[in-house]
Structure 1
Amino acid sequence: MNDIAADSLESEVPALLRNAPSSVEFKKLRKRLLRQAREAIGDFGMLAEGASDENRPKWLVCLSGGKDSYTLLAVLIELQWRGLLPVELIACNLDQAQPGFPTHILPQFFEENGIRHIIVRQDTYSIVTEKIPAHRTYCSLCSRLRRGILYRVAREQGCEAIVLGHHREDILETFFMNLFHGGRLASMPPKLINDEGDLLVLRPLAYSAESDIARFATGMRFPIIPCNLCGSQDGLQRDEVKRLLQTWEKETPGRLGIMARALGNSRPSHLLDRSLYDFVNLRPADGEDVPDGGEAEDPCGASLAMTAKLFAAE
């Protein structure tokens, strides 16, 4: 991907990007986030075939005021500016009437950067705190209410998709939450369709590391708004999973990337889900052909390393 041309007029650069740090390290970070978003958009077909400057779909980009959604918006705006994303972007913030929420920050941010936007105010805070006891987490009900409102806004604006800022660690955390507490292998897909079948939910930062997003948001000096509703609750299961993943990454750098790749490399014949693989009718084949689901697979790097170590010890 090309860097911003040195001779580009400042007016040609989106306002949001004009004050981006010019250091080599930050440029590499910025390019990596752009590349990963392009790969996710392409790998999962987030952009419909036939989309062009003349036929632009609309995406509702949801902003909470956190580092992830700010980064998402910046990445999409840059891809759009470079001619790599022929979509019409509409930024949307849902003001949930949380006490002390700084209602001026996001509207001011959008206006200063010339970003088309919608601010929706709906008091879901009172509903959540009324329905959920104080000692329990609000996340499930809060997210359902929020999602329903965003679907409505997307329909009103003629959008084909709502776009969320979930990243690689969010996806891994959800996977382990389902594994540890839900008894199923499932996570946040980068692309899904809602229950009504009329809107897509997209996560273009699915390949991006949270640490990269945090460094990008810091470098861009985004006006971060903390979440004082669910973020103020201690002992969340998701927090426990997050700490576990961070420990693994610290002990073995690169482990999270390997686990993320594993989510895209499943083998139903090597799991226990009978709805995905016909174990009942699996029988030895005549001749030399190994039936699907056999052991004809390349050994993993860990097994090769262990084998080499064992033989070396002898």
Structure 2
Amino acid sequence: MSRKPKHELENNKLNKRLRHAVGDAVNDFNMIENGDKIMVCLSGGKDSYALLDILRQLQASAPVDFDLLAVNLDQKQPGFPEHVLPEYLQSIGVPYKIIEEDTYSVVKRVIGEGKTTCSLCSRLRRGVLYRAAKESGCTKIALGHHRDDILETLFLNMFYGGKLKAMPPKLVSDNGEHIVIRPLAYVKEKDLARYAGLKQFPIIPCNLCGSQPNLQRQVIKEMLQDWDKRFPGRIESMFAALQNVVPSHLADTGLFDFAGLQRGQKLKHGGDLAFDKEILPPRFSDGLRAENGETILPAAAPKKVINILASKPQ
């Protein structure tokens, strides 16, 4: 009996892991419902290519019926290869729409030389895509943000914005008319990079912001990558924390009634223990420890969080 080559087995394992992670996110947040028409925002980067590819796989096997529409915004960046995406989408037989809108010139005119363009570029792009979703009758807008993007946003908001806020896997759009979903919320960026290489997606670089090496997001990204190398499990622990929030042990008076707190009151997550004794279930003890050797997830972590981590082999 013939055996499959090792690289083929590894590729199949990666594909299965990505599908499982996307399926978990879709189910956990009820991202896709029967009859949905999902606009998949395709930038030409590895993340959006993988998003479309995996959603197509789920579309073929999911118990609900939904349609996909790939949409690309041609921002008229100099040298943008306009033929790449149409040729790719035609080759795989996916319905698509290319929107031409010169947001590049707007950004260059408004943002001074040497300043960060991402914020304005993102707002302009999002507005165009919202309009396109409405015109196309789409019920959901799927974005290619992954787990690392979500954590980077968390630290950006803490370090520079003074907010404990990240990127949610599902949220209503800024104009209130659409549901925005992030099916890659549980997926590691390094897995997406490897997957893109295996699938040989025709990657299109973003030349608009490629000359901004000192972006705050890039600094955060490098910090997280360094932690991931030096302290295995730290990234998983931080992402789990986003799903295991204890308002009574923070300091937001809008989330918890600190003023009305009374002696003898029983709190959902317990009283002041100074420091939690963090004990990880035996099956998660390997590779999920802090640099001081102690475990980094509480035994009382919700079953949902533990299941998510169980589906992500290290």
TM-score tier by shorter-chain length is 0.7 to 0.9
Q: How does 1:1-314 map to 2 (within 5 A)?
A: 23-48=8-33, 51=34, 56-285=35-264, 293-295=270-272, 299-301=277-279
What's the offset of the Cα at 1:269? 0.6
Q: Percent identity?
A: 51
What's the offset of the Cα at 1:292? 5.6
Give yes or no for contact 2:145–2:184 (8 Å, CA) kept in 1.
Answer: yes
Tell me how far apart the structure 2 counterparts of residues 290 and 263 of structure 1 sit (CA, whole Å). 20
What's the offset of the Cα at 1:134? 1.3
Partner letter of residue 135 of structure 1?
G
Q: Aligned with 2:192: secondary structure?
A: helix
What's the offset of the Cα at 1:225? 0.4
Tell me how far apart the structure 2 counterparts of residues 222 and 298 of structure 1 sit (CA, whole Å). 46
Partner letter of residue 26 of structure 2?
I
Partner letter of residue 28 of structure 2?
D
Q: CA RMSD in A?
A: 2.1
Tell me how far apart the structure 1 counterparts of residues 268 and 20 of structure 2 sit (CA, whole Å). 38
TM-score normalized by the length of structure 2? 0.84
Deviations 1:52-91 (A, max 9, x none): xxxx110100000000000000000000011345211000
TM-score normalized by the length of structure 1? 0.84
Tell me how far apart the structure 2 counterparts of residues 292 and 22 of structure 1 sit (CA, whole Å). 46
Q: Aligned with 1:224: secondary structure?
A: coil
Structure 1, unmatched stretches of 5+, are 1-20, 308-314
Partner of 1:13: none
Tell me how far apart the structure 1 counterparts of residues 272 and 294 of structure 2 sit (CA, whole Å). 19
Partner letter of residue 280 of structure 1?
A
Deviations 1:182-201 (A, max 9, x none): 00100110000013322011
Q: Aligned with 1:23: secondary structure?
A: helix
Give yes or no for contact 2:246–2:269 (8 Å, CA) kept in 1.
Answer: no
Tell me how far apart the structure 1 counterparts of residues 134 and 243 of structure 2 sit (CA, whole Å). 31
What's the offset of the Cα at 1:284? 1.6
Partner letter of residue 45 of structure 1?
N
Q: How many residues align?
A: 279
Deviations 1:212-260 (A, max 9, x none): 0001000000000011111221210001000100110010122211111
